[in-house]
Chain A
Amino acid sequence: MLRKTFQGGVHPADGKEFARNIPYRVYLPKGDLVFPLNQHIGKPARPVVQKGDLVLTGQLLAEADGFVSANIVSSCSGKVKAVENRKTVAGPSVPCIVVENDGNYTLAEGIGTENDATNLTSQEILEKIKAAGIIGLGGAGFPTHVKLAPKNPREIEYVIANGAECEPYITCDDQLMRTKGSEIVEGLKIMLRLFPNAGGVILIEENKPEAIKAMEQACAGQEKIHIRAVHTKYPQGGERSVISVIAGKHLKLGMLPADAGCVVDNVATVHAIYRAVCKSEPVMERGFTVSGDGVKSPCNLMVRIGTSFAEVLEEAGGIREGVKARKMLCGGPMMGIALVSPDVPICKNNNALTVLTTDPVEEAEKTRTACLRCGRCNQVCPLGLTPQMMAVAAEKKNYERYEKKLYGLECIACGSCTYICPAKRPLMQLFKQAKAEIMAAKRR
């Protein structure tokens, strides 16, 4: 029997009703576009343009610096206004390329030409993916050309397109699967060419029946590609949860998905691979959800990379009248990053803006007590860790115990423990800090 879910997890209110049935609208930004050089995991890209240069849509702005790094292309045409430090979602100012948008979106040469992917070699496919600057569009931002080049491609059993979209409020992948199903299947077929012994799996949570139907139609007649509808539970979309459902394997400390014979990519990434290989289009735009009870008209947009959050919020009608927006998040409420101001650019791996009229964190602060030792965090941890004991070790700064005895570095910071905790302990923040301090000590 096929497995339907993983061990642990929580069922937060999903809030998907706000935007799930609203089809994509293309939004072309009016203001300047900002491209942070460190949108991906790895070394920041190296700029290849200077202040005053004229750039076209799809032209390379910064190239990958080293193996684990990614190209960044312009998503509008215009003049490079500056290469300077700007604020980003994560907080601190980082070097960014600012392009003054001329509003014409003149395409650079060669962008959008159709290609036949069937006679490309693996190497050529990987080069096209690298040139297009594709990174994990689901949120992690790991360069895709690195992920798709494991040591032994013949040992890969499953190539998984992850359409779980377990994060509450976000619906952009749902809409992508409903409208661009056949293109996702084409993208997955291109990926399968890299792994001769692998089968393709598209994983979707059961709360998206329309997407499941659309994808089933799109891959009718494909022998190597299957759809797997799984139970709706957070964090189903996490890489390790996906692998435990599809391959039935639990990754141990330090193991990569390739070690379990899996390659997992978000459906948006798979779609970007199709566009890069078959249409010669680099990552210039992405699906983006503006949602939450504080937004006037929640919607799904096709936005250009580099657009400011303020602009897309305006496109969604702004803040609903008569309410006060208490919390603005880049991403969803479980793993999203709080924004102090919406004047920051959308990066390749940002998939949503959520505006809430309540601030659960602030309310949790008021009712916080000492740990009750109820053990619910241990039950919901999708990795089988013991957050209750990890929290004690992290609070006492007993990092040796945290790392060696409790395997605290395995934590993926999904926030399930913090969500379920009746004592409202700030568990995820403790773990994030402990991880950062242990990693810093290791680098020293």
Chain B
Amino acid sequence: MQGIVIATLIVGVIGLLIGAALVAAGKKFYVEVDEREALVRECLPGNNCGGCGQAGCDAAAAAIVNGEAEVNVCPVCNEKAIQEISAIMGVDGVQTVKKRAFVRCAGTCEKTSVKCNYVGIRDCRSAVMSGLPVWECDYGCLGFGSCVEACAFDAIHVRDGAAVVDPDKCTGCGRCASVCPKNLIELLPGDAKAAVACSSKARGPEVKKACSAGCIGCKLCTKQCEAEAIQVENNLAGIDYDKCVGCEKCMEKCPAKAIVRP
């Protein structure tokens, strides 16, 4: 009987001491957490895609609260989420520019053809490093799908040898653009009305030989455009999305149909 009492006392006293020590440590080492951080984190999508340049959504929330990042740093958030974050942070009048990825190449299997028999690792970056020209066109999509692997939203797929973005699923995080060794993927403003689906800087005859969907730099689009939104530089048309009004006259005139509705 006495043994039980002693044991209970010892355990009880030790428990009290440890409890007191824990309380003291908790007070001493208390780290102040901004409660806004948790609220902002709630608004972020939680994919940890890294499109904002931070290590993930937790890091992004901390950066927003510390003022190291803008409230609209997340490219994936929709307008409502951005407004909520602005409300939490007490910032007004934040503009959200929704972006989306667009593959500047339409060189599918029927438009261009395979030049050499590449049998190495099925990865665009490996293929580029091998130095072998896989397709007739030196600038176009390789179709091994490094971007497909990078996409966290299942929004990009390789169809007929060229990558295509699904605009409904794309959040504009830009991860595909960062892995493409040919730098084919451009982040367009969400309301872009026309885009050039070609990246070839080769001269017209070379492009024609390599691919039937390539921009040959003929400047017909420049002449058509009333808004002066298209310029041809390095044998390749480029559209100023701010000026473009979406009249689609360039699309009708383009002999290769290289300008498309994104």
Contact = CB atoms under 8 A, between A and B. Distances in A.
B121 A430 contact: yes
A248 interface: no
B126 A340 contact: no
Chain A interface residue number, banded? 20 to 34
B133 A91 contact: yes
Interface stretch (A34-42, A170-178, A431-439): A431-439
A367 to B, nearest CB: 12
Which 7 pairs of residues, A with B, have the shortest CB-CB distance? Answer: A91-B131, A365-B119, A90-B131, A433-B126, A340-B116, A362-B119, A429-B120
B223 interface: no
Given A362-B119, A429-B120, A337 B126 contact: no
Contacts of A359: 119
Interface string B122-148: 010110011111000010000000000
24 contacts: A90-B131, A91-B131, A91-B132, A91-B133, A92-B131, A92-B138, A93-B138, A337-B131, A338-B132, A340-B116, A340-B133, A359-B119, A362-B117, A362-B119, A426-B120, A429-B129, A429-B130, A430-B121, A430-B126, A432-B129, A433-B121, A433-B123, A433-B125, A436-B125
A361 interface: yes
B115 interface: yes
Contacts of B131: 89-92, 337
Interface residues of B, number: 15
Nearest to B115: A340
Contact of A429 (B115, B117, B126, B138): B126
Interface of A: 89-93, 337-338, 340, 359, 361-362, 364-365, 426, 429-430, 432-433, 436-437
A116 to B, nearest CB: 45
Contacts of B116: 340
B129 A433 contact: yes
Nearest to A91: B131
Interface centre among B126, B131, B132, B133 (most CB of A within 10 A): B131
Contacts of A92: 131, 138
A432 B131 CA distance: 12
A340 B132 contact: yes
A433 B120 CA distance: 12
